[in-house]
Structure 1
Amino acid sequence: MTTTTEGLPAAFAAIVEDFNAVGAPDRLQMLLEFSRNLPALPERYAEHPELLEPVPECQSPIFVVAEVDGTGGDAIVHLHFQAPQESPTTSGFAGILHEGLDGLTAAEVLAVPADVSDRLGLAQAVSPLRLRGMAGMLGRIKRQVREKSAA
């Protein structure tokens, strides 16, 4: 397991450091905190759920959309998630991705290492299937950012 913050944007690095500063039970509590802090879906998406992309790698139904303001690497990324409240692990991962990536440039988001979910040290607290779900969310975000920042 890689617990380094190398290659991570500052906000994401701080999250990884926080998770790795505590034991496994406390990491699960932190994940639940992120689930409670996930922003509500903006009305423009709540009324048009077809604009969100499903993440089938997740065990729970979660949907994501990356908005990209501008083109090229300097474009600013904003993330929106629809996650069920009864799935705090999935919502927590979405909350981590939101806090760690929202407001960054397209280049910064695209540079996030694919193993970032492993760096949180949650392998003892959640199943590998759940960690794969977070990796799936990141993969979809990066693809949307790549496509939209190139437009």
Structure 2
Amino acid sequence: MNALQEIITDFQQMSRDEKLDTLMDYSENLPDLPERYHEARDKGQNRLHECQTPVHLWIEIHNEKIQMFVDVPRESPTVRGFVALLMEAFHDKDPQEALNCPNTLLNSLGLVQVLGMTRLNGLSWLVKRLKQEVTKACVEN
């Protein structure tokens, strides 16, 4: 079972409150954006404009493994938590794992019943953008 499937299985067994608490826990574990990306972030590069929260995403492929670098404000713990969940699932993993991520991930995690529509739309775009960036990084590599 891959990392994403393990996360999905865990979330499917959680109550609504446990899901929110788990996202909050994940948010605490999101690594800081490396210094080398700060200037680009400050210029608005790699921002996901579909998300109300300012999320900046960089994907690189090194040794045939995904390297994810993301910046999400601490004031947005739900988004930070979801991004950290994606990092746990895909960082340092084979790109195909991210490309195989279901577009229905939020439903599989049971977050559709927990989060508001605006937040769900932004997080759905985040998954789509992640897959696009992985595809782009694979082509460039």
User: Is 1:68 matched with 2:73?
Assistant: no
Count of aligned pairs between the two proteins: 139
1:21 Cα shift?
A: 1.0
1:47 Cα shift?
A: 3.8
User: Is 1:56 matched with 2:45?
Assistant: no
1:52 Cα shift?
A: 4.6
Q: How does 1:36-55 map to 2 (within 5 A)?
A: 36-49=28-41, 50=43, 52-55=45-48
Structure 1 counterpart SS, 2:49? coil
Structure 2 counterpart SS, 1:54? coil
CA contact (8 A) 1:64 1:137 kept: no
CA contact (8 A) 1:60 1:90 kept: yes
CA contact (8 A) 1:45 1:52 kept: no
Residue of structure 1 equivalent to 2:139: 150
Identity %: 31
CA contact (8 A) 1:19 1:120 kept: yes
| Cα distance, 1:51–1:104 mapped onto 2, change above 3 Å | farther
Pairwise CA RMSD: 1.7
User: Is 1:126 matched with 2:112?
Assistant: no
CA contact (8 A) 2:106 2:112 kept: no
* C-alpha distance after superposition, 1:93-119 (max 9, x if no partner): 111111111111122211211111221
Q: TM-score, normalised by structure 1?
A: 0.84
Any unmatched runs of 5+ in structure 2? none
Any unmatched runs of 5+ in structure 1? 1-8
